[in-house]
A and B are shown apart, each in its own frame.
Chain A
């Protein structure tokens, strides 16, 4: 079993829709939970992160972590065609070094 599981999609939504992207993980030592956005043939771009459980909002994006169920979510409100990309969750443990990435979910927002 992979440490981080993420539905690869693809996910296709109309412009303006609310998008929900999710990951599950197995390592209880993860403390920080990152979301990266990766456009085609580009490097991953750090979108936002949360520490431990709870919510964090940044503009149209909300990240949510439930450590009791080991569940990570990213919500995108009022989705735009420019949001079309692959979204990668990547938890991190403070005693470690590496980010452990999910497979990524490919999102397409149709105008």
Chain B
């Protein structure tokens, strides 16, 4: 079946602009996660959704970052007033449930470049 998909695959934006990154999880997966990966590093956790609600947003670096999942499927990560330090690959993952959070399946990522 279809895996996790993310759009756009690449996004270049100017410092100070607003961006939205989209994630389509595997059908039927109730748990959804966002991570950020900088060059040469492992992914770092941002936020976890169980259904429509953010169950753990402790990884969001500051209040410029926000994510939603209004219908419990597609999720959007929103970044306001982008900074050059936000440049990274943003990865989305989904798992069948929170209890099976060890089985996280990742999308290809969105490569964000802030100029």
Contacts and interface: CB of A to CB of B under 8 A. Distances in A.
Interface residues of B, number: 28
Interface stretch (B11-19, B40-48, B69-77): B40-48
B101 interface: yes
B104 interface: yes
B21 interface: no
A96 interface: yes
A44 B106 contact: yes
Given A8-B40, A98-B48, A43 B107 contact: yes
Given A44-B106, A46-B103, A103 B42 contact: yes
Given A43-B109, A49-B102, A104 B48 contact: no
B51 interface: no
A97 B106 contact: no
Given A42-B108, A43-B108, A46-B104, A98 B40 contact: no
Contacts of B59: 98
B108 A44 contact: no
Interface residues on A, range: 20 to 34
Interface string B82-115: 0000000001010000110111111111010000
A45 to B, nearest CB: 7
Given A43-B106, A98-B56, A88 B42 contact: yes
A44 B91 contact: yes
A43 B45 contact: no
A101 B112 CA distance: 21
Interface of A: 4, 6, 8, 32, 34, 36, 41-46, 49, 88, 90, 92, 94, 96-104
Interface of B: 4, 31, 33, 35, 40-45, 48, 55-56, 59, 91, 93, 98-99, 101-109, 111
- Ordered nearest first, which 3 A-B pairs have the shortest CB separation? A101-B42, A98-B45, A32-B102
Given A97-B48, A102-B42, A103-B41, 18 more contacts: A8-B40, A34-B102, A34-B104, A41-B111, A43-B4, A43-B108, A44-B43, A49-B102, A88-B42, A88-B43, A94-B99, A96-B56, A97-B55, A97-B98, A99-B33, A99-B43, A101-B42, A101-B44
